A and B are shown apart, each in its own frame.
Chain A
Amino acid sequence: MTDRTPIENRYDFTILFDVEDGNPNGDPDSGNMPRVDIETGNGLTTDVCIKRKIRDYVQTAMDEQAPWRIYIQNRRTLNRLDSEALEAEHIDARPESKDFAKEIKTLKKSDPTLDLRLRDYMCSQFFDIRTFGAVMTTFVKGSLSCGQVRGPVQLGFARSIDPVNVQEISITRIAVTTEADAADKNNTMGNKFIIPYGLYRMNGYISAKLAQNVTGFCNEDLDMLWRAILNMFEFDRSAARGNMAVRKLYVFKHSSALGDAPSWKLFDSIDVHKRDGVDVARSFGDYEVHVNRETIPDSVNVSEMVDHTL
Chain B
Amino acid sequence: MRQRIRGASLRRRVERPHHDTSLGSVFIGVFLFVSILMMWYVGVVNDEDTSMKGGKMSIRLEVWGENALFSRSEFKTERVTYDVMTPSAARGILEAIFWHPGMRWRIDRIHVLNPIRFDSIRRNEVDSVINIGKIRTMAEGRGDGGAIYTAESIQQRSSTILRDVRYVIDAHFELNRAKMSSTDSAEKFQSMFMRRAAKGQCFHHPYFGTREFPVEFQLWQESGDPVGFEQGHRNLGYMLYDFDYRNPAHPTPLFFRAELDDGVLDVESVEVRS
Contacts and interface: CB of A to CB of B under 8 A. Distances in A.
Contacts of A29: 120-122, 158
Nearest to B156: A28
B147 A70 contact: yes
B198 to A, nearest CB: 9
B148 interface: yes
Given A87-B133, A135-B129, A156 B212 contact: yes
B20 to A, nearest CB: 50
A71 interface: yes
B146 interface: yes
Contacts, number: 169
A85 B150 contact: no
B241 interface: no
Interface string B118-139: 0111111110111111111111
8 contacts: A47-B211, A71-B147, A73-B150, A78-B146, A84-B134, A154-B212, A205-B204, A205-B205
A-B pairs, 9 with minimum CB distance? A262-B200, A85-B133, A207-B204, A258-B201, A205-B205, A264-B216, A88-B133, A76-B149, A136-B130
B4 interface: no
B218 interface: yes
A73 B202 contact: no
A11 to B, nearest CB: 10
A74 B152 CA distance: 9
Contacts of A65: none
Contacts of A52: 150
Interface residues of B, number: 52
Interface in B177-205: 196, 199-205
B199 A259 contact: yes
A155 B212 contact: yes
Given A76-B149, A80-B134, 14 more contacts: A10-B201, A28-B156, A44-B121, A78-B147, A78-B149, A78-B152, A84-B134, A85-B132, A85-B134, A139-B132, A150-B204, A159-B66, A258-B202, A262-B200
- Looking at chain B's contact residues, the main secondary structure is mixed
Given A29-B120, A71-B147, A154-B211, A48 B125 contact: yes
A77 interface: yes
A108 to B, nearest CB: 10
Contact of B134 (A35, A88, A137, A150): A88
